[in-house]
Chain A
Amino acid sequence: MADEPLIPRGAALGLIGCEACGLVVEQPPDAAPCPRCGHPLHARKPDSLTRSWAFLVAAFILYLPANLLPVLRSTKLFRSWSDTIMSGVVALWNDGAYDLAIVVFTASVVVPLLKMGALALLLVQVQRGSAQLPRERARLYRILEFIGHWSMLDVFAVALLIALVHFGSLANAEPGAGIVAFGAVVVLTMLATMSFDPRLIWDSTRIPDRRATDRLPT
């Protein structure tokens, strides 16, 4: 077990892997173009924490109107969306549709909040120089990357519903500002996730194993 060789890190060896094409380059000057694909070479994404926080705070702020403003105004129909998301959930619950209430509550309220909370946790941990559970935090980041665009589901569904209702001139359904805010929350959370540099998780000097050495793997 103890004989397992330490795996060095690019930063310690002056090696940078191009973000776009993956080519490994030795000690390039900062932001030099990659010789293969022309993308600027950076050891870490520039201003990653600032940019990520900026998008995340914007998403947090818009999360309020997304939940407080009406998503869909309609007469008698679509109780699960009419008025705000939360009042729709309450209406479903009072009607006895507990399962649907839980699904809508999870997809529209819990998941976006969890995503923003998880990213905030990753950012805070990096800024504190935490050495705790780096592998788990790395996995958390990959999950965030993967589920990012799925929160768009409700936004698409509401837009399609409004389109369909008007096609058939079936009823009066008008979108509320909440749905636009909700779409903005999803996009901003995706941008915040993309701006975060997961390599920062491992940059803490307090992470003891896999310490960088001056040897390359052979």
Chain B
Amino acid sequence: MDMKDGAPAPLRLRPELAICEHCDSVHQRGPLAPGEAADCRVCGATLYRRSRLDIDAMLALTVAALIVFVLANAAPIVTMQSAGVTTRGWLMTMVASAWSHGVGPVAAIAAGTVFLFPLAQLALYLFVLHAARLPARPKGFGAAMHGLRWLRPWSMVEVFLIGILVSIIKMSSLARVTAEAGLWGFGVLTILLTALSTFELRALWEIHDGR
């Protein structure tokens, strides 16, 4: 426990400590009950937390979210009726339409943050959670964990959901726009992704350390 100068032993690990990412304060780790979080006493940021969900529950949630993801994309989001013509809009057809009507970069951002990144997130969750149940760390585990950390801020399903609602309201003066199953799908997907994000991913690094 002391920090005498002495011979520099390179890369001594101190897994019993936690350092606040936001202010660099050093804290002693302690056990947490499910659903609890440890906050930094200096700056108030969350140091680490323990999810209410264990790995099996997380796996079940991930599979559920993948199914909902497929449904949300397979079902139309809105139907529009005007002058006797009914049109239905899926996520991908709307992105394609936005792409071909001059908002290419915006369409690309939407395709990434609403379709590609959440899908990649779910696939990686599936992989790392499955890996956590194996006796040893499989190949690619580290890359998958880093990928998940990188993807987290760029997944914007919840923002998109509110964006659809705003555009439906704006359109209501022009045509009869009704929400379809796909919109509900994105609503449920938002809830499932939020639940998944409460999980402390870092805890997965420790699982294979103890074995």
Contact = CB atoms under 8 A, between A and B. Distances in A.
Contacts of A64: none
Contact of A159 (B20, B22, B107, B162): B107
Nearest to A17: B19
Contact of B103 (A142, A162, A217): A162
Contact-size category for B: 35 or more
Label chain B's interface by main secondary structure.
mixed
A160 B18 contact: no
A153 interface: yes
Given A170-B82, A179-B106, A198-B23, A153 B163 contact: yes
A216 B82 CA distance: 70
A162 B93 CA distance: 12
A149 B162 CA distance: 12
Given A164-B89, A170-B82, A216-B26, A24 B19 contact: yes
Contacts of A152: 109, 113, 156, 159, 163
A190 B113 CA distance: 14
A205 interface: no
Contact of B87 (A25, A159, A167, A201): A167
B3 A214 contact: yes
A39 B142 CA distance: 9
Given A25-B14, A167-B97, A134 B80 contact: no
Given A36-B209, A164-B78, A150 B14 contact: no
Interface of B: 1, 3, 8-15, 17-28, 41-45, 48, 78, 80, 82, 85, 87, 89, 93-95, 97-98, 101-103, 105-107, 109-110, 113, 142, 145-146, 149, 153-154, 156, 159-160, 162-164, 166-167, 170-171, 173-175, 177, 202, 205, 209
